[in-house]
Structure 1
Amino acid sequence: MLGAIAGDIIGSVFEARNWRNEAPHKSKDFPLFDPKSKFTDDSVLTIALADAILHQRDYAEVMREYYQRYTKVGFGKAFRVWGATPDAPAYNSWGNGSAMRISPVGYAFDSLEAVLVNARRYSEPTHNHPEGVKGAQAVASVIYLARKGADKAELKRFVEREFGYDLSRTLDDIRPDYAFNESCQQTVPEAITAFLEANDFEDTIRNAISLGGDSDTLACIAGSMAEAFYGGVPAHIAAPCLALLDEPLRNVTQAFRTTYHLNA
């Protein structure tokens, strides 16, 4: 899950610029950290899920608690309404929020079947649209299979076969016309491609951000898969990201990593 947090923090600098279409960043050349680097709702909801799993609590309840503590970190309008309304029903979202927060599931459950069931379970409090569920299941499955030793060719075939995503395009094919998009349908395949084309964890993050879209979420999703595949997050990325979390978020992150034996 630290890979997701790292992608979110590194991508946070570019997300608003790309959303406003202010010369979207389309290059892999950028400093990893900036004085404006920060965690956003992507990290908050990822850590909320880790918290819910660790303490076997209702995820909807935990998400609302985290929303009340971190209202100013970039939550979308529909989520803000849901988070502020006790017992509000799911709002049939196909947004990429389900995929950005799902990485703890890929580590906490030890069969593919359990990962798929729980990816659905933790998506549906908000993202109960089939595309929202599918996006989360695809990402959690890649994380699970990657940590079990699947190679990239196997992961690509699995995603194409089981979820029907088109992974035939390269980043160079995608990048010229790609724009800010918050749907699972046009975020998850692109994030998976950024991971598949990468040479290592850092290259994965650079690939994702270079697409010029919803940068923090693209890098969050791609980073979550890269952490599982490459066996951790490099220290020169992990340490600054942990330092940028506040103490409660950092404590939950470390507790989850200790419980599930994740490397730095």
Structure 2
Amino acid sequence: MSFWDGLWRGRSADFESGSAASNSIELTKRHPTVSLTKQGAATGNLRINLSWRMRTSDIGGGERGSFLQNPFKMFKPDVVQAHTQSMVNVDLDLGCMYELTDGTKGVVQPLGSFFGELNSPPYIKLSGDDRFGSGSGETIYVNLDHRESIKRLLVFVYIYDQTPAFDRTHANVTLYPSNGPRIEIGLDERAPQARSCAVITMENVKGEFIVHREVKFVYGFQAELDRLYGWGLQWGRGYKSKADR
């Protein structure tokens, strides 16, 4: 979130949102929950996007001084888009643990090439693996036309085979429902040693599909998130295929 967003962001009784023009809901510690059902957005394909940029202090070397000392610096962007490995050596991946109503459990993620299926179980599909935080980022689709088959989801982000660097990235997960405002979750909390982050849970509660902000950083990988949320999957060391790297 930029300096200007912080100045002008409005608030409501149920959630924090952007301006009317931005048509977005921001899930925060204070307002962590939104119902897709009540928003009229629990149908069609829900698009979940991960994007990230590097902080300028990490690329340019050192924090900029106060804009009171140099007022023109406040107009420079806080972050720089990371496109090439020469600029940054961080690979954030988007994943989703799922539990279906028939008891089936599993994971959709780039690691191990578990890309899922959209029109058959688990009704979750990963579109690809973005290595350098490009504008398009990584995207998972959830087919909410089969929401009665989905019990719960855990959307998470992890750092693949690199030095922990959540404190050096400006990461954002955005949900784009088929109807209604987009839902934004920022991962701006500093957790320099963390390798994984539980971003949101989505649960089918008596037919109502509810999104809850988590943003819990852990020092391990998927197995630690599994234990934290009681998924009960078996985990082993995995690798990306050459096509995904």
User: TM-score higher than 0.5 here?
Assistant: no
TM tier, smaller: under 0.3
TM-score by length of 2: 0.28
More strand by share: 2
Higher relative contact order (CA 8 A, sep 6+): 1
TM-score computed with the length of structure 1 as normaliser? 0.26
Q: If each structure's helix is expressed as a fraction of its own residues, which one has the higher value? A: 1
Name the larger-Rg structure.
2
